[in-house]
Amino acid sequence: MTDERAREAVRGINDEATPGGDPYTDYDDFSLPAYVGLATFQKLPWVTDAAALAAERPDVAIVGAPFDDAVSHRPGARSGPRAIRQASYHAGAINSLQLGIEPYDWLNVVDAGDAPVTPMNIERAHAVIERKVREVAQSGAVPIVLGGDHSITYPSASAVASVVAPRRLGIVHFDAHADAANSTWGALRSHGTPMRRLIESGAVAGRNFVQIGLRGYWPGPDTLEWMRDQGMRWHLMSEIEERGAEAVINDAIAQALDGPEVIYLSVDIDVIDPGMAPGTGTPEPGGMLTRELLRAVRQVVGSVELAGMDVVEVSPPFDQAEVTAAAAHRCVLEAISALAAKRRAAGGSPITHLGSSTDSSAGG
Ligand SMILES: [Mn+2]
């Protein structure tokens, strides 16, 4: 699939395009069913090379971080990026009913592939993830990173913070867990510690690190005291139950932007109730509804300047019927659609697709 062919096909919803003459060539890869061909995210062009990204200057780029050597309980998130990429029944083009927009008519989105991770070496994996995310962000694209365990937020958000500097980064973090421990059984790089590392390193100020959905029985009082000392702010799941998600998230956005100009959004899929998202490493009962989280992603992305995002902790071996991977996939689509709606609202122009016509059925 070349970039030109993918762009030609973007116009129109693919499965509504009328076949032409030759069944062998009627549809290009972008327009063929989701299960046919390469499983790039939403069949988007696969542009992995830093030079190609710099030349392409996409608006958004998907990045895989297939790494789970830093989990404390049940593993499997290394297979998350691949599972999320294929958790869709749509061919490439999509139309957001929620936002009334065909996002790929407004944004140039590519799949930048995976960071070149190998197992059994956390420092090496984090280093290559940081470099990959930095390359994507330096191209001008908003990186949307598919985890991977939550430890990858440390290199990923660090890379984004370094690229946006001197502008400051706030972080909005959905999770059942605070992930701000000092160590996990002595390991400083773990999926329980990335938020502390980000604050200690200065990538983000504690007071602009805002967490939503915390619940259950971890962390302990010492870590909570450290979090308070940093000025971190968090909104328990019980607050969402009492006040509703929309009001809580409005407060969280204001707190994260109290100083910074741009936002990194980190979504641990375990913020969703494990009854709706069982495929994750540390499931904690009593979480958000999937529909609440998707609405929350639209709310956050629609009202901030998004510099980067990740969706982490999808563990396909523990999933059922791909329900967790699908939720993660839709978190990404909601973010892309909200970015597109912002582009349109700001008076932007639709992308002129090569070979496109005004006939919306001309896809393929
Ligand atoms: Mn978590």
Predicted pLDDT at 361: 35
Predicted pLDDT at 353: 59
CA of 277 to the centre of ligand 1 (A): 12
The tally of domains found in the chain comes to: 1
* Residue 84 clears pLDDT 50, i.e. is over it: yes
In a domain, 227, yes or no: yes
Predicted pLDDT at 330: 98
CA distance 187 to 193: 9
CA of 37 to the centre of ligand 1 (A): 33
Q: pLDDT tens across 191-203, in order?
A: 999 999 999 999 9
CA of 270 to the centre of ligand 1 (A): 5
In a domain, 350, yes or no: no
Predicted pLDDT at 21: 84
Predicted pLDDT at 20: 79
CA of 79 to the centre of ligand 1 (A): 17
* Residue 1 clears pLDDT 90, i.e. is over it: no
Predicted pLDDT at 15: 81
CA of 111 to the centre of ligand 1 (A): 25
Confidence of residue 363 (pLDDT cuts 50, 70, 90): very low
CA of 60 to the centre of ligand 1 (A): 25
Predicted pLDDT at 354: 47
In a domain, 353, yes or no: no
3-state class of 26 per DSSP? Answer: coil
CA of 282 to the centre of ligand 1 (A): 6
Predicted pLDDT at 364: 32
In a domain, 148, yes or no: yes
Report CA-CA distances (Å) from 338 to 28, 60, 222, 251. Answer: 27, 12, 38, 19
Predicted pLDDT at 12: 66
CA of 320 to the centre of ligand 1 (A): 18
CA of 283 to the centre of ligand 1 (A): 8
CA of 40 to the centre of ligand 1 (A): 26
Confidence of residue 7 (pLDDT cuts 50, 70, 90): very low
CA of 46 to the centre of ligand 1 (A): 30
Region 16-25: mean pLDDT is 84
The residues placing their C-beta within 5 Å of ligand 1, an ion, are 175-177, 268, 270
Region 279-304: mean pLDDT is 98
- Using CA atoms of 190, 214, 99, 258 in order, give the dihedral in degrees to the nearest 10: -90
DSSP 29: G
Q: Which of 310, 296, 232, 299 is nearest to 265 (CA)?
A: 310
Predicted pLDDT at 355: 39
Parallel, antiparallel or unpaired: strands 60-65 and 142-147: parallel
In a domain, 111, yes or no: yes
Sheet holding 169-174, edge to edge: 109-114, 60-65, 142-147, 306-312, 262-268, 169-174, 209-214, 233-236
* pTM greater than the 0.75 cutoff: yes
With a pLDDT cut of 90, the percent of the chain lying above it is 87
* Count of Cβ atoms closer than 10 Å to residue 358 Cβ: 6
CA of 333 to the centre of ligand 1 (A): 21
Region 105-129: mean pLDDT is 98
In a domain, 358, yes or no: no
* Residue 6 clears pLDDT 80, i.e. is over it: no
Predicted pLDDT at 356: 39
Residues ≥6 apart with Cβ < 8 Å to 211: 173, 174, 175, 178, 195, 232, 233, 234, 235
In a domain, 155, yes or no: yes
* Residue 260 clears pLDDT 60, i.e. is over it: yes
CATH of the domain at 87: 3.40.800.10
* Residue 298 clears pLDDT 70, i.e. is over it: yes
In a domain, 188, yes or no: yes
Q: pLDDT tens across 31-59, in order?
A: 899 999 999 999 999 999 999 999 999 99
Predicted pLDDT at 17: 78
Report CA-CA distances (Å) from 335 to 99, 133, 168, 267, 288. Answer: 11, 17, 21, 11, 18
Q: Are 151 and 122 in contact (CB under 8 A)?
A: yes
CA of 359 to the centre of ligand 1 (A): 46
* Residue 323 clears pLDDT 60, i.e. is over it: yes
Region 166-170: mean pLDDT is 98
CA of 287 to the centre of ligand 1 (A): 11
CA of 267 to the centre of ligand 1 (A): 9
- The distance from CA 87 to its chain's CA centroid, rounded to whole angstroms, is 14
Predicted pLDDT at 11: 53
Q: pLDDT tens across 119-147, in order?
A: 999 999 999 999 999 999 999 999 999 99
Domain around 154: 3-345
